[in-house]
Amino acid sequence: MRFTLYRRLAMDKCIMVGCDLHDRSMLLKIAIGREPSVRRDWSNDAAGRAEMIADLKHRAAAAGVRRIVFAYEASGLGFCLYDELTAAGIECHVLAPTLIERSVKHYHRKTDERDAERILALLRGWLLAGNALPEVWIPDRQTRDDRELVRMRLGLADKRTRCKCQIRCLLKRNNAAKAPVKTWTSEYYLWLKHQAKSVLLAGAGLALSSLLRQLEDLDGEVEVVSGQVEELSRADRYARRVQALVGLKGVGTLIAMVYLTELGDPKRLHNRYQVGSFLGLTPKSQETGEAEDRKGHITREGSGRLRKVLCQAVWSRVRTDEQARAKFERIAQKNPKHKKKGIVALMRDLGIAMWHKALAA
């Protein structure tokens, strides 16, 4: 009892900071213990962040406080602020926006200052009352750097797919004849070039030629980056796990690298239920009154890139693996209109199997 009292008194004397982070600005709500918060604004650049850190340390020294606890929401800006604060000796927590409960009223009265105040309230609840803090797992810098390359490879494939769709739509808009050869082969490319030069009108032909040049560049870039991902997979930090994962049917080097870089440290997950939740492949739950155990669509939390490659791997398994095909057909027979349920079930099974393999390697 006395230890808990001392702990709370110590927490009261720490500086807590809730930050609403933007591309060019940072709005901070700063408080010590249960005291009212104060607002400070900084620019989100190297100079602004340095000034902010110096200001927080000055406040701590003036108040006789050693501990500074900082929190902000995760975003596409990455973890640069987290790295700088940690290097400066400031305790930093990055919160998951999807796990922060907000009322409908909040969305009608949303301001940057209210967002920062909300983050500060969560921090206070965690420090002073022991409430749960909805923070994200932060990968190390090496994993973040590896993700950049693997995600670039996936992004290039998406760009190439969009370029092919543009070509097909252009041909349809101009009522082009059906190709006499199989699509996206070397013969098909020659046929497309003939359409651009000799068959289509001038404007459509020039547009098609431009798309073909873009597609050629993307094909070359995909080949280059694929080789770089292959080389990365042979690095000591990935080699054993990649070798273990590619032993599963439907899993190639790229899918294995996407899985490992998005997952990070497999030891941070402790059971199959956490893996399914991380993949976003667990059903939503909504219970109210007498309606119990109501399940809905999958949550789709976590990495959409990972679900995409798992879906590709599962379709390959359904075509080549009798056991996977039998399970898919068994689920599909229950309701032929919802065949996706079979794919989702197999995706979850494959994701969990890959986690076990990565953990054991």
* Statement: residue 65 has pLDDT above 70: yes
User: What radius of gyration, in Å, describes the C-alpha atoms of the chain?
Assistant: 26
- Paired with 41 in beta bridges are 27
- Residue the block writes with tokens 């500074």: 68
Tens-place pLDDT, residues 250-273: 999 999 999 999 999 999 999 999
In which band, very low, low, confident or very high, does the pLDDT at 40 lie, cut at 50, 70 and 90? very high
CATH for the 2-129 domain, from 2.60.40.1760, 3.30.420.360, 3.40.50.1220, 3.10.250.10:
3.30.420.360
Tens-place pLDDT, residues 55-64: 999 999 999 9
pTM score, whole prediction: 0.89
The residue extents of the domains of the chain are 2-129, 141-233, 239-360
Tens-place pLDDT, residues 98-154: 888 887 777 788 899 999 999 999 999 999 999 999 999 999 999 999 999 999 999
pLDDT of residue 105: 79
pLDDT of residue 3: 37
Exposure string (b/e) for 318-355, b if CB count within 10 Å is 16 or more?
A: beebeebeebbeebbeeeeeeeebbbbbbbbbbbbebb
Average pLDDT of the chain? 91
* Statement: residue 91 has pLDDT above 50: yes
- Number of Cβ atoms within 10 Å of the Cβ of 311: 16
Question: What is the three-state SS of the chain?
Answer: CHHHHHHHHHHHCCEEEEEEECCCEEEEEEEECCCCCEEEEEECCHHHHHHHHHHHHHHHHHHCCCCEEEEEECCCCCCHHHHHHHHCCCEEEEECHHHCCCCHHHHHCCCHHHHHHHHHHHHHHHHHHCCCCCECCCCCHHHHHHHHHHHHHHHHHHHHHHHHHHHHHHHHHCCCCCCCCCCCCHHHHHHHHHHHHHHCCHHHHHHHHHHHHHHHHHHHHHHHHHHHHHHHHCCCCCHHHHHHHCCCCCCCHHHHHHHHHHHCCHHHCCCHHHHHHHHCCCEEECCECCECCCEEEECCCCCHHHHHHHHHHHHHHHHHCHHHHHHHHHHHHHCHHHCHHHHHHHHHHHHHHHHHHHHHC
Q: Which residues contact 111 (CB under 8 A, 6 or more apart)?
A: none
Q: Which residues contact 232 (CB under 8 A, 6 or more apart)?
A: 146, 149, 150, 238, 257
